[in-house]
Amino acid sequence: MTERQEKRIPITGMRKQIYKNLVKSAFTIPHATGMDEVQVDALIAYKKVVDSEADVHITYLPIIIKLITQVLEKYPIFNATIDEDAREIVIRPDFNIGIAVATEEGLIVPVIKNVDKKTIAEIAVELNELTDKARQGKLVLSNIVGGTFTISNTGLRGGTYATPLINFPQVAILGIHAMKERPVILANREIGIGTMMGVSLSFDHRIIDGESVGYFMEELKNLIEHPEKIKN
């Protein structure tokens, strides 16, 4: 039998930069994470309608990207960055949403700029283009800079909750997780079957307090459970 040998993989290129960025995030920002669970049956129905009316296939992520802008407009402290040199919190007037994409080189975060000015369909097209570029190693600097808030979609294999690391110098990151059917209490107080999704919001506790997180999560939950309120 052939004896197994250890394998060493150099930390170079994109992986080296990811290595540095995550260490800086973890050891610079005092992370805290708020978690909640939302019922997504109305969102599922909404996606079907939007998908049927669009010229591009619509997944849940472009809808989440669009609705998060409304939450950030209401609670702008989450759409901020930190200027460490000036010791200032910079509330950003633009809404540039970074999307964590898994590639062979590691996790890359391309940025969709000015989301508030784009429709769900337009966001879907740009998301597809950036995701393809990321996985082909074709992103340029302008595709990955300028983000004001990040979303990490862990998908079907991501479990119910997580504690995502903030994309420094941003101040918050939202994790959206697997959708699972389970017993729920319906509006008439009877028990039925609903589709639930976990959400996790990691935030910089130096500048954001737990009460603000509660308001943010409440508004996020409200829009996911009542997607007719989304301004498309």
Q: Strand, helix or coil at 164?
A: coil
C-beta neighbour count of 84 within 10 angstroms: 10
205 annotated active-site: yes
Q: Strand, helix or coil at 73?
A: helix
Catalytic-role residue among 31, 57, 205, 226: 205
Whether 163 contacts 151, CB under 8 Å:
no
Residue 66 amino acid letter: K
Whether 144 contacts 106, CB under 8 Å:
no
CA 171, CA 79: separation in Å to the nearest integer?
7
Angle subtended at Cα 152 by Cα 195 and Cα 109, rounded to the nearest 5 degrees:
150
**In this structure, what DSSP letter does residue 209 have?**
-
* H-type alpha helices, 29-119: 41-53, 60-74
* H-type alpha helices, 92-209: 120-136, 141-144
By annotation, the residues acting in catalysis are 205
